Structure formats: C-alpha cells, structure tokens
C-alpha cells in the first residue's frame, strides 16, 4: 500500500528531492578542514508544468540546491527523482541531463566568448546528437533564436556583441535546444535592467505555456518570484523555512523569517506603504561554517525559546499545502 502511494506521488510530481544535503570541505588551518553545510536536509516536489520559486538571502544555498539538483555537484546525501525514476545510474543521469537544463545568473560569464551564437545554442544539440544533418542543425538553431526573440541573421556573431538582455536570451535558447521538460532558472534576471527583466520574465512564462515546461525559479526578489511562481519556498542558511502557494505565502507568511522578508517588499500605494511596519532582524547572518545549534534562525528570532536551541524543527503542514519549520507555530 505504501509502495503504491509512493509510486503515485512520483507520477504526480516531475521532480522530487528528498533530504538533499550538500557539504563542502573548507580548509581552516594546517591539515584542518571544516564542512560547510551549504544545503542541509532540504526536501520539496515540483508538479508538471508548475513553477516553484526559491527565495532567500545571498549565501542561503539557493543556487547550490539548483546545481546539486542538476548534478553539477555530486550530492553529499539525499535522493533526486525525475519523472518517476531515481537519478543514480549513468543511464538515468544521461537521460536526465537531456531533459533538464539550466539558465545561469550571469549572462556575461555563462557564454563562451570564443564561440558564435550558433555554436553556443547548438552545443546541447551536438552533445546529445539530436540532429542528423547539417541543414537540420541550422534550421533548429534559427528556430530557437526566433523563439527567444533574437534576429536569426546574428547567428554568426559573438556573445560580446550583444546586450545583457540579448545574452540572457541566448542562454535561454541554449537551454531549450535539447527540448527539456525541466529548467532551473538561477536568478536569470538579477543582472539585467528593470525594463529588460519584465521582458525576460514574460518570455519565460510564454515559453512555459507553449511548451509545458516546469521551472525551479531561484531569486532573492520576492516580487519577481511572486509574479512567476505557483508556489514559493523560503530558505535560510541551507534549511527550508516555509513552503506554500504564492498567494498564501505573500498574504499570510507564518515563519518569522518570511514575515521579515515580506515586510521589506515595497508597496506601490503611498498610503498603504506608510501603514506598513518594517521588521528589521537583529544581528548578522551566522557563518555557514558555524551554524547555530537547533534552529538556524534562532539567533535572530524574537520568538526563540529553549527548545529552538535543542532541536532543529522539521517541515510540517500547518494548513492545507502550507508547510513551516518552526517550533512556535
């Protein structure tokens, strides 16, 4: 019975991450190393055609989650399931890498300056042998460039000849080349001008609607994440703090850290903005090399109790599809 339920859950979700851990050994002196716990026991699921937003402060482990999920880093521990198959064998990993791609944060450093746009976009096509003839390859390159709003006549140019927004479109075209089902968007608009950000976000939404794509959208700007995401997960110091639907999380945040994040989001209405009470957290973010015992947020939390220092809270469902990791909720 339990096995059947687990199988049904894997069919419902395209991506399942169970108890993911990613530790990096850091040298702290002569022949001494300390484990930096970048991601510590993170679990989540993403349904087909859904966008899961992942937010948090810089250094909280968001990007590491995305890169470990795509096996750019070998996980320290945990399971990754994709389309009902556990990613562990070479064959499953090969298939996964064809169906899962990444759009990187910096469009200036993620594109090879020595390759033309055509070769950059066609790289996944060549790696996975997706085109049998040269003409088929050229037609596919033109199709991809047109899909992301680039002039197909510019295929022979180099990345440095394009603006930031155009470079990010090249990165998106490359991600689409292998016809993936799942794309990790690692802060894809944070390096772009505000006017260009909206264009790229709208394009990602349009591509999702047309191609049935599933996104993990990583960002630190909650306003952007709210706009594009169906559900939002909040991270702090390598741990998942809260997970709920986009509207639920932004209107009724429960975890003290999420409440603080939401209080910092600007409100367009001046009258409402004056009523808003900004919650400023005390102290600095602890070093990931010395994470506090128990709950990682307790040293900055106004609700912290003795229990918070003893055990790390686990994610639990406090209302339908609203999960929080806190002893005092």
> Which two structure tokens, joined as six digits, stand for 223?
């306003």
Give me the pLDDT at residue 143, please.
95
Residue 5's pLDDT is: 47
User: Does the pLDDT at position 7 exceed 70?
Assistant: no
Q: What is the pTM of this model?
A: 0.90
**pLDDT tens by residue, 260-273:** 888 877 776 676 66
For residue 1, name the pLDDT band (cuts at 50, 70, 90): very low
Mean pLDDT for the chain?
89
Contact 113, 158 (CB under 8 A): yes
Rounded CA separation 73/91 (Å): 17
- Express each pLDDT in 125-177 by its tens digit: 999 999 999 999 999 999 999 999 999 999 999 999 999 899 999 999 999 99
List helix spans (H) across the chain. 2-12, 62-69, 90-99, 117-127, 134-147, 164-176, 194-211, 222-228, 246-251, 256-263, 270-275, 306-310
| Beta partners for residue 25, in sequence order | 35
What value does the mean pLDDT take over residues 305-312? Answer: 90
> Over the stretch 241-253, which tens digit does the pLDDT of each residue have?
999 999 999 999 9
- The yes/no answer on whether domain 2-110+182-189+211-229 falls in CATH 3.40.1390.10 is no
Q: At 184, list the tokens.
A: 């990790």
Instruction: Return d(Cα 92, Cα 2) in angstroms, integer.
Output: 24
275 band by pLDDT with thresholds 50, 70 and 90: low
**Paired sense of beta strands 85-86 and 100-103, if any:** unpaired
Give CA–CA dist 317/249, Å, rounded.
13
Return the closest-CA partner of residue 107 out of 49, 170, 39.
Answer: 170
pLDDT for res 195: 84
**The predicted structure's pLDDT at residue 302:** 83
Where exactly are the structural domains of the chain? 2-110+182-189+211-229
pLDDT in tens, 75-115: 999 999 999 999 988 889 989 999 999 999 888 889 999 99
Please report, for residues 5, 92, 121, 233, 294, the alpha-carbon distance to residue 81 in angstroms, rounded to integers and kept in the order given.
15, 10, 27, 19, 28
């Amino acid at each position: 019975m339990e096995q059947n339920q687990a199988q049904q859950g894997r069919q419902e979700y395209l991506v399942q991450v169970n108890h993911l851990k990613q530790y990096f050994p850091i040298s702290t002196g002569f022949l001494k190393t300390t484990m930096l716990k970048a991601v510590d026991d993170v679990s989540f699921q993403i349904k087909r055609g859904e966008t899961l937003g992942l937010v948090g402060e810089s250094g909280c482990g968001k990007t590491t989650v995305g890169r470990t999920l795509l096996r750019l880093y070998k996980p320290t521990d945990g399971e990754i399931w994709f389309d009902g198959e556990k990613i562990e064998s070479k064959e499953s990993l090969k298939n996964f890498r064809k169906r899962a791609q990444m759009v990187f944060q910096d469009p200036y450093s993620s594109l090879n300056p020595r390759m033309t746009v055509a070769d950059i976009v066609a790289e996944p096509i060549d790696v996975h042998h997706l085109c049998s003839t040269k003409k088929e390859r050229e037609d596919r390159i033109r199709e991809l460039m047109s899909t992301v709003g680039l002039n197909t006549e510019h295929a022979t140019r180099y990345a440095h000849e394009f603006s930031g927004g155009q470079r990010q479109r090249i990165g998106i075209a490359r991600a689409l080349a292998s016809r993936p089902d799942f794309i990790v968007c690692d802060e894809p608009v944070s390096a772009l001008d505000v006017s260009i950000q909206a264009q790229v976000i709208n394009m990602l939404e349009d591509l999702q609607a047309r191609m049935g794509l599933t996104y993990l959208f990583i960002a630190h700007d909650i306003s952007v994440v709210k706009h594009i995401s169906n559900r939002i997960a909040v991270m702090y110091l390598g741990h998942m703090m809260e997970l709920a639907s986009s509207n639920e999380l932004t209107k009724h945040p429960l975890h003290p850290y999420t409440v603080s994040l939401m209080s910092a989001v600007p409100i367009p209405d001046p009258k409402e903005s004056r009523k808003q009470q900004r919650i400023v957290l005390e102290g600095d973010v602890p070093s990931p090399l010395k994470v506090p015992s128990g709950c990682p947020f307790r040293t900055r939390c106004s609700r912290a109790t003795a229990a918070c220092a003893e055990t790390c809270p686990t994610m639990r469902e406090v209302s339908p599809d609203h999960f929080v990791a806190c002893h005092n909720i």
